[in-house]
Structure 1
């Protein structure tokens, strides 16, 4: 069966302001002052829904699309509720998402340890020994530290699973179960996901206690205010069509390829055509991926070519165009892209 080529592109409009303010979420004056200093105007729907519930100390399931402010939705309750003898643990599916979560926590004045693959284990051990307020980790590397006994999760007072559906898609279910089993039974658990497949629901039933659910949008709903278009073209005409789209749109562009080989090939062709393009996929080193993401955010690179490893980890403002150069393997990945 012939699978059509899908070009999805959208113009991101300014976020609609809500009548609810951060001063109405139940935050302490100290935490509210930190939020105000960062110039956040008003909470997003997931923040308005999840923060007041999480401040009560109950378990929370948040269903919201990528890029809707979930990081702040769990970071603010962490700031309020963590005791001096406890630390917070945030699990994320990719290095890029973990780095961006850490970046947000740093802006709030939170000390962290970033535990991800591709970075020095010895430096991570040093960071863990410094008793950070929050540990941000990918499951695989955290398991490495558990095996080395360089991390003790018995004092993890709040545990967050961010992009839970993606972590299960990537085969992290056994690692997540082992990690959660090593944390205190009387912890607070928050789970955030854009979709709610049976595997995620089963995980919540195993490790969460009477969670309250905040569903901002129905699970698996494409982001609103994005113009979506589809073009049917022969495979051989894709490079020419992509160049045409880049000429028609002057802003930043995110291009998704299905494989790392495809991403390399597309990025190379774009650079040959004098486009400033970077790439993120599993063949790139941690330093290369960090440089690509930083350069894309700063405008040094106009085009980023990525595999789905980055679909849930890129938080870049004002992206004008998103191109699905290849169709994703499943519908949920289309939503995240």
Structure 2
């Protein structure tokens, strides 16, 4: 369906045309007409499906055609992270380019000047406030925030917000909103806690569901079954040739991000790091450098797993196995965007095998295991049930007589598959 077939104002269509948007994504096609009718909506869709435009376009359309107060907050959008808040704000600016609709992003990690700008937007009245829960609560506690005239309340990536412990903050904010608002909630999954939240804050919502959260089929997914000390050696073997494409590496902690970044810098690679120890200006600078191609490799915690909007990342590496299947989907979903190809590599140590098997079960397929380079020594067998450890911490030292789990006799078909996967990975790194 084309946007021109929807009941959108000419000024909204003009902005879409200027941005070269003509065809709706499935989530937009199903959501926009429902929102224009004034219904509450719960949307189930993963990142990269166009859900931001699915709620921004009808809200902007209503704000520019309806009779809403000029000196009040008319729409409140909640975001789990400052990166996603920034991305929503950027899309807001584009979609509202030809309309007198104002927006202010409210998120932490800024200096006092930025805080004052946020305060002015909240007190003088911005049409749209895009905020992280913690930062908005900080402003509310100062006593000058009035949310009594909010007509649209939107929770983006609600599952992520609950995972981050924002439930109480959200409910505190909800108490300040009028009951006769239109509420929209978007989530990649629908666990019990999300269903309960929806029951508490939505009024007879229409559910819009777009497929099961799974990675794009064109992402080539592979893994190395290895010992923890072998991980850096695998990274070195992958990056021994020239690197021209953008590569995103996820690690489980900011300490690992820092150590990995330093190791890659010693290899004279063009690398940047992204984690919570950086202030907002530093994070903005690194992200701009990565988007512009002046940094080839970005090492990050899950802080950028959702919200990053770069279309030509060719390779995603999970230095550690993600916490759960949804995090895995969101991480590797940073590649193979906008009809590009992409690869995802996960490094799996003994302790992580059980978690990785759960991811495979969620995907409904076995992810191909590439042999660890022979110069790194023997690698463990892939035995996820045996290596569930039942709460015990494994010993990552490499035994002298460990059976090589990824070696042995392979059929010609396995050799061909390995060659194909390895070739695709090296191609993604070099491009």
TM-score scaled to structure 1, two decimals?
Answer: 0.90
Shift of 1:139: 0.2
Shift of 1:224: 3.4
**Structure 1 residue 238 corresponds to structure 2 residue 264:** no
**Structure 1 residue 101 corresponds to structure 2 residue 82:** no
**Structure 1 residue 111 corresponds to structure 2 residue 80:** no
User: What corresponds to 1:90 in structure 2?
Assistant: 77
User: What corresponds to 1:288 in structure 2?
Assistant: 282
**How far, CA to CA, are the matches of 1:72 and 1:245 in structure 2?**
37
Shift of 1:326: 0.6
User: What corresponds to 2:148 in structure 1?
Assistant: 154
User: What corresponds to 1:254 in structure 2?
Assistant: 248
User: What corresponds to 1:10 in structure 2?
Assistant: none
Residue pairs, 1:10-49, within 5 angstroms = 20-49=1-30
Length, aligned pairs only: 317
Given that 1:65 and 1:223 are in contact with CA atoms closer than 8 Å, whether structure 2 keeps it comes out as no
Deviations 1:32-53 (A, max 9, x none): 1111111113221111111111
Shift of 1:248: 7.8
Deviates more, 1:243-252 or 1:228-237: 243-252
Counterpart of 2:148 in 1: which secondary structure?
A: helix
Counterpart of 2:21 in 1: which secondary structure?
A: coil
Return structure 1 stretches of 4+ with deviation > 4 angstroms. none
User: What corresponds to 2:368 in structure 1?
Assistant: none
Q: Which of 209, 221, 232 is the matching residue for 1:228?
A: 221
Counterpart of 2:33 in 1: which secondary structure?
A: helix
Counterpart of 1:223 in 2: which secondary structure?
A: coil
User: What corresponds to 1:9 in structure 2?
Assistant: none
Residue pairs, 1:64-75, within 5 angstroms = 64-75=45-56
**How far, CA to CA, are the matches of 2:297 and 2:328 in structure 1?**
19
Which structure carries more relative contact order (alpha carbon 8 Å, separation 6+)? Answer: 1
Specify every segment of 5 or more residues in structure 2 that has no aligned partner in the other structure, as ranges: 332-431
**Structure 1 residue 165 corresponds to structure 2 residue 185:** no
Specify every segment of 5 or more residues in structure 1 that has no aligned partner in the other structure, as ranges: 1-19
Q: CA RMSD in A?
A: 1.5
Deviations 1:102-125 (A, max 9, x none): 011111234211111112322211
Counterpart of 1:154 in 2: which secondary structure?
A: coil
User: What corresponds to 2:395 in structure 1?
Assistant: none
**How far, CA to CA, are the matches of 2:83 and 2:147 in structure 1?**
23
Shift of 1:313: 1.8
Q: Which of 288, 292, 298 is the matching residue for 1:304?
A: 298
Shift of 1:87: 1.5
User: What corresponds to 2:117 in structure 1?
Assistant: 123
**How far, CA to CA, are the matches of 2:169 and 2:122 in structure 1?**
19
Given that 2:243 and 2:296 are in contact with CA atoms closer than 8 Å, whether structure 1 keeps it comes out as no
Deviations 1:173-226 (A, max 9, x none): 0001111121110111111111111111110000001111111112x4233321
Given that 1:249 and 1:320 are in contact with CA atoms closer than 8 Å, whether structure 2 keeps it comes out as no
Given that 1:153 and 1:182 are in contact with CA atoms closer than 8 Å, whether structure 2 keeps it comes out as yes
Shift of 1:308: 1.1
Counterpart of 2:59 in 1: which secondary structure?
A: helix
**How far, CA to CA, are the matches of 1:101 and 1:311 in structure 2?**
15
**How far, CA to CA, are the matches of 1:293 and 1:52 in structure 2?**
35
Given that 1:57 and 1:188 are in contact with CA atoms closer than 8 Å, whether structure 2 keeps it comes out as yes
Shift of 1:127: 2.8
**How far, CA to CA, are the matches of 1:193 and 1:73 in structure 2?**
13
**How far, CA to CA, are the matches of 1:242 and 1:57 in structure 2?**
51
Deviations 1:292-314 (A, max 9, x none): 11111111111111111211121
- Larger C-alpha radius of gyration, 1 or 2? 2
**How far, CA to CA, are the matches of 1:319 and 1:62 in structure 2?**
27
Shift of 1:67: 1.6
